[in-house]
Amino acid sequence: MKALVVYESLWGNTAAVARAIAEGVGEGARALPTSEATPELLAEADLVVAGAPILGFNLPTEAMRKSIAADPKYRANPPDMSHPSMREWLERLPRRSVAFATFETRIWWSPGSSAKKIAEVFDAAGYRRVAEPERFMVTGSYGPLKDGEIERARVWGEQLARATT
């Protein structure tokens, strides 16, 4: 099955989860940052999975990303700002009817959900939901992921593959 796992990740936690999901989906699945998840790859995917962190109780906004990039307090843990945000990537999401699922990484219970927000855009573009929005937990502001979350992501990927075929 051709699957695309696209992610936004400033400190690498969401990227690590995305790679584990792709591994679980199996052969033909690729985990890619927003800059590399091109319309061509999207057009040939049977399953699209999209994920992002929650930052400031929300799917990262451009304002949030700008303030992080400008704030010296993040210099000790420099964020990777070299890829477009998930919000920007979603602006160009083509209408399709293939399977999709969404996920987020987060530290604690907080209002707002990146995964739900991304899922709303896929719903509106005609995609078919094969799983409820999923969450993967980190232990501190910049990670690392909680023990067992990578394995859980891999198993979730296997489930998505079964739900898609």
Ligand X SMILES: Cc1cc2nc3c(=O)[nH]c(=O)nc-3n(C[C@H](O)[C@H](O)[C@H](O)COP(=O)(O)O)c2cc1C
Binding residue (CB under 6 A) for ligand X from 4, 10, 48, 93: 10
Identity of the residue, 26 or 71, whose beta carbon is nearer to ligand X in the bound complex: 71
Which of 108, 131, 111 has the alpha carbon at shortest distance from 119?
131
Question: What are 51's two structure tokens?
Answer: 């994920």
Does residue 32 bind ligand X (CB under 6 A)? Answer: no
Strands (E), the chain: 3-7, 29-33, 47-53, 99-106, 128-129, 134-137
14: enclosing H helix or E strand = helix 13-25
Binding residue (CB under 6 A) for ligand X from 3, 14, 20, 22: 14
Shortest Cβ distance from residue 59 to ligand X (Å)? 10
Which of 161, 159, 155 has the alpha carbon at shortest distance from 17?
155
Binding residue (CB under 6 A) for ligand X from 57, 61, 63, 69: 57
* Binding segment toward ligand X, per CB under 6 A, in 50-58, 88-96, 119-127, 147-155: 50-58
- Rounded CA-CA distance 85/93 in Å is 13
Does residue 9 bind ligand X (CB under 6 A)? Answer: yes
Does residue 146 bind ligand X (CB under 6 A)? Answer: no
Shortest Cβ distance from residue 44 to ligand X (Å)? 26
Shortest Cβ distance from residue 96 to ligand X (Å)? 25
Identity of the residue, 12 or 28, whose beta carbon is nearer to ligand X in the bound complex: 12
Which of 17, 155, 25 has the alpha carbon at shortest distance from 100?
25
Question: What are 36's two structure tokens?
Answer: 């590399």
Q: Provide CB contacts within 8 A for 147, sequence distance 6+.
A: none
Does residue 53 bind ligand X (CB under 6 A)? Answer: yes
Question: What are 94's two structure tokens?
Answer: 């083509």
The site string for ligand X over 102-121 (x = CB under 6 A, - otherwise) reads ---xxxx-x-----------
For tokens 């704030």, the residue is 71
Residues lying near ligand X in the complex (CB under 6 A) are found at 9-15, 53-57, 68, 105-108, 110, 138, 141-143
